[in-house]
Amino acid sequence: MIKIGLTGPTGAGKSTVAEWLLCAGVPVIDSDKVAREITLPGQPTLSVLAEAFGKDILLPDGSLDRKKLAERAFSDPDSTARLNAITHPAITERVKTAFATYEAAGEKAVVLDAPLLFESTLDRVCDHTVAVLAPESVRLARIRARDSLSEDAAKTRMNAQPGDDFYTARAEIILHNDGDPDALKRQTEELLSRIAGWTV
């Protein structure tokens, strides 16, 4: 079974490509969903986070106060590294389990939708990597429309992520989204053809 990592900066159109691939019959694993699952009440990762960042990151019902965790985990590089050291291995194990489940079901290819594909080293469990990139103007418009953000807030979010060079240096395939949905759809269809070739 071919494992494909899909990534890209916020607003570039990665989720759109993932949706099209899913509609075309290629299963998609959402790493953000996996990250939420490992921090549900009763999960070992949640207990480790509480030990590392303070038990008050837990709400009265035992669920995670994500805002409070984010304030502490992203307050300095060491705290961020501690968060990643706790969560990334747990996410990787869940992803590997999901891959194995799909392979046992006879799937020929599976896509891992992961915004932090390279930062989390999830690319190491993939056979191929794909990044969706877009001009700043396209990303800015998409983020503002999607999240109802001011221009400054949207730019702050964009500037917190790596630049295009980060992705072009690491991804095997680059899809370019210039704001034309049809053009992006054609590139996705070409990707599907490549996937079909990989799975023969």
Boundaries of every domain in the chain: 1-27+108-200, 33-106
Residue 174 tokens, joined = 């680059």
Q: Count Cβ atoms within 10 A of the Cβ of residue 108 and give its class: 0-12 exposed, 13-18 middle, 19 or more buried.
A: middle
Q: How many CB atoms lie within 10 A of CB 92?
A: 17
Instruction: Count other C-beta atoms under 10 Å from residue 64's C-beta.
Output: 19
pLDDT value of position 158: 85
Q: What's phi and psi for 25, nearest 5 deg? A: 105, 5
Q: How far is CA 54 from CA 40, 64, 68, 166, in A?
A: 16, 11, 10, 34
Give the pLDDT confidence score for residue 156 in this predicted structure. 83
Closest-CA residue to 79 (of 46, 52, 55, 56): 52
1-27+108-200 and 33-106 have identical folds = yes
The pTM score is 0.88
- Residue 147 — pLDDT band, cuts 50, 70, 90? confident
pLDDT at 170 over 90: yes
Q: What percent of the chain has a predicted confidence (pLDDT) above 90?
A: 80
The chain-wide mean pLDDT, for the chain, equals 94
Query: pLDDT grade, residue 15 (50/70/90)?
Result: very high
Distance CA 33, CA 117 (A): 14
Cα 165 to its chain centre, rounded Å, is 18
- The dihedrals phi and psi of 88, each to the nearest 5 degrees, come to -60, -45
Q: Give the sheet arrangement for strand 173-176, strand by strand.
A: 28-30, 109-113, 2-7, 128-133, 173-176
CA distance 12 to 136: 9
pLDDT digits 0-9 by tens, 115-137? 999 999 999 999 999 999 999 99
What is the rounded end-to-end Cα distance, in angstroms, of the chain? 10
Look at residue 135 in the predicted model and tell me its pLDDT.
94
Q: What is the pLDDT of residue 200?
A: 73
Q: Are 99 and 3 in contact (CB under 8 A)?
A: yes
* Average pLDDT, integer, range 84-100: 95
Q: What is 33-106's CATH superfamily?
A: P-loop containing nucleotide triphosphate hydrolases (3.40.50.300)
Q: What pLDDT, on the 0 to 100 scale, is given for residue 186? A: 97
CA atoms within 13 A on the CB side of 48: 14
Q: What is the pLDDT of residues 50-83, one digit of tens each?
A: 999 999 999 999 999 998 998 898 888 899 889 9
Confidence grade of residue 39 (pLDDT, cut at 50, 70, 90): very high
Side-chain-side CA neighbours of 43 within 13 Å: the count stands at 19
Tell me what pLDDT residue 75 has.
83
Main-chain dihedrals φ then ψ at residue 177, nearest 5 degrees: -105, 105
* pLDDT in the model for residue 20: 97
Look at residue 2 and tell me whether its pLDDT is greater than 90: yes
What homologous superfamily does CATH list for 1-27+108-200?
P-loop containing nucleotide triphosphate hydrolases (3.40.50.300)
